[in-house]
Structure 1
Amino acid sequence: MAFLEVKHLSKKYAGNDFYSLKDASFTIDQGEIVGLVGKNGSGKSTLLKCIAKSQFPTQGEILFQDQNLYAEEDMLEDFGIMIDPVFFPQISVLENLQLFLKIHQKEHYSNNIKSILELVGLWDARYRKPKDFSFGMKQRTALALALITEPSFILLDEPFVGLDPIGVQHLLQILKNWAQTKKTAMLVSSHQLSELEELCQRFLFIDRGQISEATPAEQKTILIELALPIQETELAQQLANLGARSSSDQIVEIPTDILLSERNQIFQLLAQAKLIKGVLSKRDHLETLFVED
């Protein structure tokens, strides 16, 4: 049983003639950290907000520990959520955390306040009010609220914004440690690729509302960037028969463990069709997802 399962999830906003999220399906296991990667406007926020129940999907369902996330009001009780900063700007950071714990009847986590505020670099600013904060400090306040109760599932949108390099490394270590020792599962969206690569075991690529799953960053593959998409063509079928696979519209992945003769045939077919635009590393592939069309 998957810890979180998203099944054929779609979202179409009123007045739009397109889907912001289309037929998304994936699973996340307990203790797994998954990165969510895509351009601005690709559907990342829509997906996160559907999981957080701040947007309701047009179609599909989300299961958390095999129960429909929308079936009961308290299904997010064990979630930590940082998507849009949500706090009371007129009271101090310390008061925000205390009030959050009181509202959720989790005051037994009060002993975490100092360590969490130190983690996000706000302990010295604990008596200050977020209304006077920079964007980065507001992000850190939201991050503290997401982590304070040590949830079993965490949704994080740009969690590294506003942290200094020491704070980033400390947060990475904490999140990896929680995944290993507390079996905390996480879905993390960020434009900071180095941090995602260090943190995540797997990636979900999202483009125009559609999700494709990526193999782990360390898997040995050759990535070929194509000049044109080839989906549903005879060439695509020929490449698939030789062991290549498409991870997005214009990316072909070639596993390095296939026969050398098959690998050469794949390159030959692409070269004959004049489709090879470049050969990418996994890091290059991630970066292309943030380049606007």
Structure 2
Amino acid sequence: MNTTAHYAQGPSGPAQEQTVLEMQGVSKVIKGKAIVDNLSFKIQKGEIVGLLGPNGAGKTTTIRMMTGLIRMSGGDVLIHGHSIRKEFKQAISQIGAIIENPEFYPHMTGYDNLLQYLRMSDGAGVSRIKEVVELVGLQEAMNKKVRAYSLGMRQRLGIAQALLHSPKLLILDEPTNGLDPAGIREMRDYMRRIAEVEGIAILISSHMLAEIEQICHRAVVIQNGKLVTVTQLTEVPEARSEVALAIRVDKIEAARTVAGALQGVKVTGADEAHSELHVQLPDGAVPELVAALSEAKVGIYRITENRQSLEEDFLKWTGGNRIA
């Protein structure tokens, strides 16, 4: 199955296409059971992609294979053109990741924690600390001890740490978990800035579908270790062949008759109590429908476009299995 859907809330797409992550038929078999089965997809430079799936879909196993924490049974993972199998050191050097809650020395300042990590990294200079701190908005907290940091600040410090060696790919597992709405919004803004300013590809595994819908360019949905769909989350007007409308009118039966008589217009239902007609039609046929209703002396009070949310489509793709 290879479905593509389109949503309005996502950010604009990456300006330049350059493959940073390529999953090539990746599989993982444990005790004769396929946990991940022939999984293939790509992520481009500057792109933010969500990895979604019900509980037990294979998301964590997939991320662990990407980062070299466990071996794959088949296939390969390329990071900026380097094979995890054949060029492990070069491939891993291109990844920054937060798989679980980031750990720091609580008695040390944020700056000293980053400096300590920097000393263990190859190639990065002290000036890089200033760059990553600005990317995540922690300038005012660098001289504070980490034990005084909020959860959101620790998450951002973890991202700063993961960016110190200038990776091409940033992998985040539940980056907004436990954050309040303000913290979630801040995290969303910082991830967008990182993708835009650094050109880093970001893969986010999350159970918060509304957040994925708002921040990601695309979503990769897996179930039982297999790819279900790769879904476009940014709005591409020319790709939308049909729209679903709810039209509030003064004469519901007359409106139903008029709409049903037009070629390409499908009446999908009606809300008699609110005098609202539901139709599905080609995007370009909307003016024709409005003109036909007006000619038939049907008063139009409101036209609303009905969009399926990512959650609604997720439940459809996974047969009603909710995300975890």
TM-score norm. by structure 2 comes to 0.62
Q: Following TM superposition, by how much is the alpha carbon of 1:116 offset from its aligned partner in structure 2, in angstroms?
A: 5.7
Q: Following TM superposition, by how much is the alpha carbon of 1:17 offset from its aligned partner in structure 2, in angstroms?
A: 2.9
Q: Following TM superposition, by how much is the alpha carbon of 1:286 offset from its aligned partner in structure 2, in angstroms?
A: 3.0
1:182 match: 198
Q: Following TM superposition, by how much is the alpha carbon of 1:54 offset from its aligned partner in structure 2, in angstroms?
A: 0.7
Cα distance in 2 for partners of 1:150, 1:256 equals 48
* Unmatched segments (≥5 aa) in structure 2: 1-17, 243-279, 286-306
Q: 3-state DSSP class of the match of 1:151?
A: coil
Cα distance in 2 for partners of 1:178, 1:141 equals 13
Alpha carbons of structure 1 residues 134 and 17: separation in structure 2 relative to 1, 3 Å: farther
Whether the 8 Å contact between 2:136 and 2:190 is mirrored in structure 1 is no
Alpha carbons of structure 1 residues 57 and 173: separation in structure 2 relative to 1, 3 Å: same
1:172 match: 188
Q: Following TM superposition, by how much is the alpha carbon of 1:140 offset from its aligned partner in structure 2, in angstroms?
A: 5.0
1:265 match: none
Worse overlay, 133-142 or 22-31: 133-142
Q: Following TM superposition, by how much is the alpha carbon of 1:77 offset from its aligned partner in structure 2, in angstroms?
A: 1.9
Q: Following TM superposition, by how much is the alpha carbon of 1:281 offset from its aligned partner in structure 2, in angstroms?
A: 4.0
1:240 match: none
Q: Following TM superposition, by how much is the alpha carbon of 1:284 offset from its aligned partner in structure 2, in angstroms?
A: 1.3
Alpha carbons of structure 1 residues 169 and 147: separation in structure 2 relative to 1, 3 Å: farther
Whose radius of gyration is greater, 1 or 2?
A: 2
1:83 match: 99
Whether the 8 Å contact between 2:102 and 2:155 is mirrored in structure 1 is no
Alpha carbons of structure 1 residues 206 and 257: separation in structure 2 relative to 1, 3 Å: farther
Q: 3-state DSSP class of the match of 2:172?
A: strand
Cα distance in 2 for partners of 1:56, 1:128 equals 34
Is residue 123 of structure 1 aligned with residue 141 of structure 2?
Answer: yes
* Unmatched segments (≥5 aa) in structure 1: 223-254, 261-278
Q: Following TM superposition, by how much is the alpha carbon of 1:2 offset from its aligned partner in structure 2, in angstroms?
A: 2.5
1:211 match: 227
Worse overlay, 62-71 or 38-47: 62-71
Alpha carbons of structure 1 residues 21 and 135: separation in structure 2 relative to 1, 3 Å: farther
Is residue 5 of structure 1 aligned with residue 22 of structure 2?
Answer: yes
Worse overlay, 102-111 or 137-146: 137-146
Aligned-partner residue type, residue 82 of structure 2: Q
In the TM superposition, what whole-angstrom CA distance separates every residue of 1:253-285 from its partner, at most 9, and x where no partner exists?
xx9759x9xxxxxxxxxxxxxxxxxx9543312
Is residue 152 of structure 1 aligned with residue 168 of structure 2?
Answer: yes
Aligned-partner residue type, residue 195 of structure 1: E
Q: 3-state DSSP class of the match of 1:156?
A: strand
Aligned residues: 239
Q: Following TM superposition, by how much is the alpha carbon of 1:212 offset from its aligned partner in structure 2, in angstroms?
A: 2.6
Whether the 8 Å contact between 1:117 and 1:123 is mirrored in structure 2 is no
2:314 match: 286
Whether the 8 Å contact between 2:172 and 2:204 is mirrored in structure 1 is yes
2:294 match: none
Q: Following TM superposition, by how much is the alpha carbon of 1:62 offset from its aligned partner in structure 2, in angstroms?
A: 0.9
Alpha carbons of structure 1 residues 135 and 114: separation in structure 2 relative to 1, 3 Å: closer
Is residue 50 of structure 1 aligned with residue 65 of structure 2?
Answer: yes
Worse overlay, 102-111 or 189-198: 102-111
Q: 3-state DSSP class of the match of 1:75?
A: helix
Whether the 8 Å contact between 1:35 and 1:196 is mirrored in structure 2 is yes
Alpha carbons of structure 1 residues 84 and 281: separation in structure 2 relative to 1, 3 Å: closer
Whether the 8 Å contact between 2:82 and 2:90 is mirrored in structure 1 is no
Cα distance in 1 for partners of 2:217, 2:56 equals 24
What CA RMSD, in Å, does the superposition of the two structures yield over aligned residues? 3.6
1:96 match: 113
Q: Which one scores higher on RCO, CA 8 angstroms, separation ≥ 6?
A: 2
Aligned-partner residue type, residue 70 of structure 2: Q
Cα distance in 2 for partners of 1:215, 1:256 equals 22
Q: Following TM superposition, by how much is the alpha carbon of 1:199 offset from its aligned partner in structure 2, in angstroms?
A: 1.0
Cα distance in 2 for partners of 1:136, 1:170 equals 9
1:237 match: none
Aligned-partner residue type, residue 282 of structure 1: L
Q: Following TM superposition, by how much is the alpha carbon of 1:29 offset from its aligned partner in structure 2, in angstroms?
A: 1.4
1:29 match: 44
2:130 match: 111
